[in-house]
Structure 1
Amino acid sequence: MKNPTVEIKNFHAHVYFDLESREAAARIREGLDARFEVHFGRWHDAIVGPHPKSMYQVLFSPQQFGEVVPWLMLNREGLDILIHPTTGDDVIDHTDHALWLGEKLPLNIEVLRRITT
């Protein structure tokens, strides 16, 4: 491990969608809600923060990673999903520490840099 003193507080999954795939995103959200004790962010139907598409966020604990992420892998309905830890460094969490299911979308990391400086 590069830095053993860094603590992962939780994980975020960002489920990206557009108008045509919003129903699929809703099914994924319903499936997660039925199976796991996760917390959902609100629906963002427009670009927000570093994210290039509409999305919603799912927050889950490090202990849930081994259950939530495989479920997302098998049930993402073709949607792109960014999964990243929360360590206190948003730039590194969204880049070096990021895991992508589907296509790796271009994030606007400059937004995160402005927020953290």
Structure 2
Amino acid sequence: MVVAIDPAIISCYHAHIYYDDASRDTAARIREEIERKFKVEMGRWREAPVGPHPQSMYQVKFDPEEFARIVPWLMLNRDGLNILVHPETTDAYTDHAVNALWLGEKLKLRLDVLRNLKSG
């Protein structure tokens, strides 16, 4: 028998908004709108791959209570950008590899970086 995991273990969510040179202006516009419309904590611009992320991106951190507002907005307003949304629990690998939601193309993450990592 499989035991259900209580979603209460999710401390927050991260949305990783990926871009390249051609789509950076679009990413900047979306970033400004997110900051204006939602209760979030914005991560810095990452102009090169970092951690498991295969291309340039920035992170948007938000509480579970904000999920139902921001994720549908991202679905409708991502303007062609690829976005990874994942929960933040104590298992970074599973958060990114198993329990992730993709908007747009599912990119190949460098999951080996997270295999033995525990987020906290």
**In the alignment, structure 1 residue 56 sits paired with structure 2 residue 58:** yes
% identical aligned pairs: 54
Partner of 1:34: helix, strand, or coil? helix
Structure 1, unpaired ranges of 5+: none
1:96-107 equivalence runs, <5 A: 96-107=98-109
**What secondary structure is seen at the aligned counterpart in 2 of 1:72?**
helix
Q: CA RMSD in A?
A: 1.4
Matched residues, number: 116
Confirm whether residue 3 of structure 1 aligns to residue 5 of structure 2: yes
Normalising by structure 2, report the TM-score: 0.92
Deviations 1:47-75 (A, max 9, x none): 10000010000000000000000010111
Following superposition, the deviation at residue 115 of structure 1 comes to 3.4
How far, CA to CA, are the matches of 2:21 and 2:108 in structure 1?
19
- TM-score norm. by structure 1 comes to 0.94
Q: CA deviation at 1:5?
A: 7.2
1:42 aligns to 2:44 (yes or no):
yes
CA contact (8 A) 1:6 1:87 kept: no
